[in-house]
Amino acid sequence: MSFPKKFLWGGAVAANQCEGAWLEDGKAPNITDIMVGIGSKDPGLKWNEDLKKWEMALDSHKKYLSHEGIDFYHRYKEDLELMAGMGFNCFRTSIAWGRIFPNGDEEQPNEAGLAFYDELIETMLELGMEPVITLSHYETPLHLLTEYGGWSNHCLIDFWKRYVITVFERYKGKVKYWLTFNEVNNMMRNPLVAGGVLTLNPEDKNDPIGSTTEKDKWQGYYNICVANAWTVKLCKEIDVNAKVGCMLTSSSVATYPYNCDPDNVFGAYDATRMANFYFGDPFCLGEIPGYVKRVWREHDCEPQMNAEELRLIKENTVSYFSFSYYRSSTYDHGNSLSGDTGGLIGKENPYLTGCSPEPWCWPIDPKGIRYVLNVLYDRYHLPLFIVENGIGLDENLDDNGKIDDPERMKYIEEHLKYVHEAILDGVDVMGYLYWGPIDVVSAGTGEMKKRYGFVYVDRFNDGTGTLERKIKNSYYRYKEIIETNGDILLEK
Ligand code: BGP
């Protein structure tokens, strides 16, 4: 039994990490544009005491590499051809919300922004790749945060609906796979970027992230659940042939108890719920779960809700569950869990032997992807779509101008082997998208040095480079895997 016949093979990027052109053709800044890496505790925001509000204040000493990205905005044709050259039958990217509604609250969309995505989507289709489109990959327009407080403000639901209707109508019959909010379950750890929430009148005027209140976060959570349900409903009304899925970082599903101490077993389970299922449950089962309501009760942070919207959530659950998986973690009740773009970080797992190179050191756990797929399928009984998995390496061209990257090939092969095991277990897996098939700016650290691509991009942390693209050796291996629909991996 091999991979399913219509398996979706491809790769994924995000507008804010590759497009560049951050203020071109009418686009205004979004939240990632003011950060050098979303893991930064110090975004480019300053409190204006006269106006009593936050405003953008970029730091002239910092390099905001995402402002130019890899210039995908102007080079997407060449890049998509390279992707098609590997045999991709689909390609994931996001629409930058701020290209369509620059401030987020306009009545009319920006035609120039739409024109860019018209061409981009058309090119994917011409090259035989299904577009998989994320509606917001950490890309809330900045104005919505500084003016309205972001997603904790109920009016964002209407702004979102306007945006979603615009793109659903425009790309009807062209885009079959939509994803709502990228890794939105990171919002409790990263309310500003993943949750798009900013407290408007903070206690600590020097700390826009740390001063976000629990109340605002949970109100943002509820409003996003409503917005997700609206997205599903609108898609059914506008384009019956398209499907809406959620997108969660699901490395956290593989949070293993450090040992069989019952406190660790339950603690690991609870950590998974509070890092992952707390969004998965309303998105897929239509219910705000009891363990979330308990937090609201005990911390006095219950959001304002209404019965009609709760019914909307109930009746409009997603058609599939998409997720990223990079690594696993362990839970030990004496140690707190931290996290970054790869997932949660707990005590080192002595059973894992590899990790990605320093300074990132992400543990490598291919068996974890089988575990995650099984857990998610057992809980939600929905088709599962792996829309991010990959390894970041610090790479340079060798003397012959080439890059040999056996670590990347090994990483993919091993993960796909366990994806296949999950398929044998009976899990419905729609496809596998490698994260970063072309080098892009890192989400977590904002650097170029952390390269995921099968295609190298000549750009460096100091902003220099020709932007020339070069094929790495792993390109040919991934091509072979796709050409044989994964059979080449099963021959071993
Ligand atoms: C995910 C994000 C991506 C991506 C990836 C790798 O969290 O959805 O945007 O970049 O992680 O993370 P990083 O770029 O920090 O290595």
Helix-, strand-, coil-residue percentages of the chain, each rounded to 5: 40, 15, 45
Cβ-based neighbours of 120, under 8 Å, separated by 6 or more: 76, 80, 93
pLDDT at 191 over 70: yes
Query: pLDDT tens digit string along 386-437?
Result: 999 999 999 999 999 999 999 999 999 999 999 999 999 999 999 999 999 9
Q: Taking residues 301-311, what's their average pLDDT?
A: 98
Q: Taking residues 482-491, what's their average pLDDT?
A: 94
> What is the Å distance from ligand 1's center to 124 Cα?
22
- pLDDT confidence bin for 375, thresholds 50/70/90: very high
Query: pLDDT tens digit string along 459-475?
Result: 999 999 999 999 999 99
Query: pLDDT tens digit string along 38-49?
Result: 999 899 999 999
pLDDT at 353 over 90: no
Alpha-carbon distances, residue 298 vs 1, 293, 295, 302, 410 (angstroms) = 50, 9, 5, 9, 46
- Compute the CA torsion angle 191, 196, 198, 199 (nearest 10 deg): -80
Query: pLDDT tens digit string along 141-187?
Result: 999 999 999 999 999 999 999 999 999 999 999 999 999 999 999 99
Indicate the domain borders of the chain: 8-489
- pLDDT confidence bin for 1, thresholds 50/70/90: confident
- Catalytic, 183? Answer yes
pLDDT of residue 492: 60
- Catalytic, 130? Answer no
> What is the Å distance from ligand 1's center to 263 Cα?
31
Superfamily name with CATH number, domain 8-489: Glycosidases (3.20.20.80)
For ligand 1, residues with CB inside 6 Å are: 14, 17, 182-183, 249, 324, 341, 388, 392, 435, 442-445, 450
Query: pLDDT tens digit string along 71-90?
Result: 999 999 999 999 999 999 99
The active-site residue out of 68, 139, 147, 183 is 183
Q: Ligand 1 pocket: which of 38, 136, 435, 441 to mutate (most atoms <8 Å of CB)?
A: 435
pLDDT of residue 234: 98
- pLDDT confidence bin for 232, thresholds 50/70/90: very high
Q: What is the mean pLDDT of the chain?
A: 97
> What is the Å distance from ligand 1's center to 162 Cα?
28
pLDDT of residue 322: 98
> What is the Å distance from ligand 1's center to 14 Cα?
9
The active-site residue out of 19, 309, 388, 395 is 388
Buried b (16+ CB within 10 A) or exposed e, 361-390: ebbbbbbbbbbbbbbbbebbebbbbbbbbb
